[in-house]
Amino acid sequence: MPEEITYQSKPEIAAEMIRRTREAGHVKFDWITGDALYGDSGPLRADLEAADQRYVLAVRPNLTVWIADPGNRTTVTLGTKQRKKHGTWRHPDCRSLNELGKDLPADAWQAMQVREGSKGPLVYEFTWMRVWIPKAGRRSQPGWAVFRRSPDRPKEVDYYLSNASEETTLEELALVVSTRWRVEEYFEDAKTHLGMADYETRAWTSWHHHMALLALAHFIVTLTRRDVKGDVPDFTLSMAVRVLQSSFARGSCTEDDAFSIIEYHLRRNEAAHQSHRKSWLQKHKRIKAKPLL
């Protein structure tokens, strides 16, 4: 590792990457999203807010927020006299997201279909609340606390914070929350098919070369999938690999052979999808989900 490289936490690295990309001027971020490792970082959130950058970040359940405008108050703790009166160290208008989630009424949740998954509709229930996000030594900023849960596991709630404006809809926030699966999809494809974890490099430069080539390979695959999507909407990276494997096993593979292999897997995937979808709809007859896409 070069001597000029100093330790940075993952949120610090993320903040630097975002700043560097914005300064380059080639890419404009509409939203920033991430898991609780990043959402729990007050400095990262402050950095995004200072840049007027909208975000929806996962946070831990015990993170505290204001449920009423605290005005100029910059701390969530109470003075000695107030503690005697309220019997708590925290101001009564300052609550943890976990506490707020438990108090939500059943009719506050809205079922939304994120997308059509391989095993039927992927549906989550969402709700939200206008809150003020505490900042160390500074005036709290208004934003949204977003709650998400699966209809099959209603007690397992995910929590998010957003600095979006008051005009932002719950559907838009839910859609941003749901885009993170693309990152997971990228890592799965990269590790399974493109060799992300298959390296034996020992040097800083060679590791970055490997990851740069990996990113380029994934970019080419993504463009290819985009180009053929009109003719084969369900064409996936995994299916492309199967075509290659089948062609290698045959010794030769014409264009007709390739289409035949693709159609075979499409039929199998569609049959499995319809079977899973039928089971899901029967199990969740009461759910009337609003499609996000």
| Structural domain boundaries in the chain | 10-170, 186-291
For the segment 256-275, the average pLDDT, to the nearest whole number, is 77
Confidence of residue 293 (pLDDT cuts 50, 70, 90): low
C-alpha pair distances (Å), 141 with each of 57, 128, 130: 15, 16, 11
Confidence of residue 77 (pLDDT cuts 50, 70, 90): low
Average pLDDT of the chain, as a whole number: 83
Please tell me whether residue 78 adopts helix, strand or coil conformation.
coil
Confidence of residue 80 (pLDDT cuts 50, 70, 90): very low
> How many whole angstroms separate alpha carbon 189 and alpha carbon 219?
12
pLDDT at 148: 95
Q: What percent of the chain has pLDDT above 70?
A: 84
Q: What percent of the chain has pLDDT above 90?
A: 39
pTM: 0.79
Reported as a single tens digit per residue, the pLDDT across 133-172 is: 887 667 788 999 999 999 888 889 999 999 999 999 999 9
pLDDT at 18: 96
pLDDT at 8: 93
Residue 86 pLDDT greater than 60, yes or no? no
Q: Residue 80 corresponds to which tokens in the numbers above?
A: 């000695």
Please tell me whether residue 209 adopts helix, strand or coil conformation.
helix
